[in-house]
Amino acid sequence: MLVSGTGFCQNKDAYESMRNRMVDDQIAGRGISDQATLQAMRKVPRHLFVPVSYLSEAYSDRPLPIGYNQTISQPCVVAYMTELSKPAKGKIALEIGTGSGYQAAVLAEIVDTVYSIEIVPELAKEAAARLKKLGYQNIITKYGDGYEGWPGHSPFDIIIVTAAADHIPQPLKDQLADGGRLVMPVGNPAAVQELILLTKKKGRITEQRLEPVRFVPLKRLKQ
Ligand code: SAH
């Protein structure tokens, strides 16, 4: 009798081949070449970061709703922002806009510690529980307004903002380490923005304008 699907023939991660295809087609295929980024994208189980109703779309080439009018970014946008931030062992990162926790998880596969702030309390709670369940001990999350950064843990080698505003918050520029890189969508939060890369060297900040992107707006708790 032939019994299939057991023992070493069992498919341990039914989503693994979808994930590898996502990386090959949507990410490596579009020019992302940083090995650490590609490896992290092959590892993080994106299907566990989307609502069950979108499970079959988890590896598709688009952003997906995660509730509360927010979205998990398109895989290639996550990969592009990760590569731009030059992640490496030994670095400390700050993310503004935890959302599902996916971008934080991708970074956490590479850097030492990721601090991540989320302004929607329910999303902050859900992401913290998800990341804990998945065993990400090097991600520290909190609920709050990321506009102010996280001064107690600064400076950061990497700052990734995953929500759009018409300017880069000054507190985030201040909390960027020397030699650090900040990536953020800047422009009209209700339309299309430009991905901006800031680098700080000897206290001097240089700005590079990159690709057009579309992100949800950066909100404020109080102004
Ligand atoms: N990085 C997320 C995608 C986030 S979408 C992921 O990988 O799933 C942008 C997120 O930024 C939303 O969850 C939104 O609630 C959050 N956000 C918006 N303004 C914020 C602010 N001022 N501080 C922290 N989070 C904010």
Beta strands in 78-192 (DSSP E): 92-96, 113-118, 139-143, 156-161, 176-187
Concerning whether 116 is annotated as a catalytic residue, the answer is no
Q: What is the Cα gyration radius of the chain?
A: 18
The finding on whether 219 has its CB within 6 A of some atom of ligand 1 is yes
pLDDT tens digits for range 106-144: 999 999 999 999 999 999 999 999 999 999 999 999 999
For 221, other C-beta atoms within 10 Å of its C-beta total 11
Q: Tokens for 63? A: 């952003």
Q: Tokens for 1? A: 């009798």
Residues of the chain short of pLDDT 70, as ranges, are 1-12, 223
State the catalytic residue, choosing from 73, 85, 116, 154: 73
The finding on whether 147 has its CB within 6 A of some atom of ligand 1 is yes
**pTM score:** 0.95
The finding on whether 71 has its CB within 6 A of some atom of ligand 1 is yes
Q: Which residues of 133-157 are buried (b: 16+ CB within 10 A; e: fewer)?
A: eeebebbbbebbbbbbbbeeebbbb
User: Residue 142 and residue 44: Cα distance in Å, rounded?
Assistant: 21
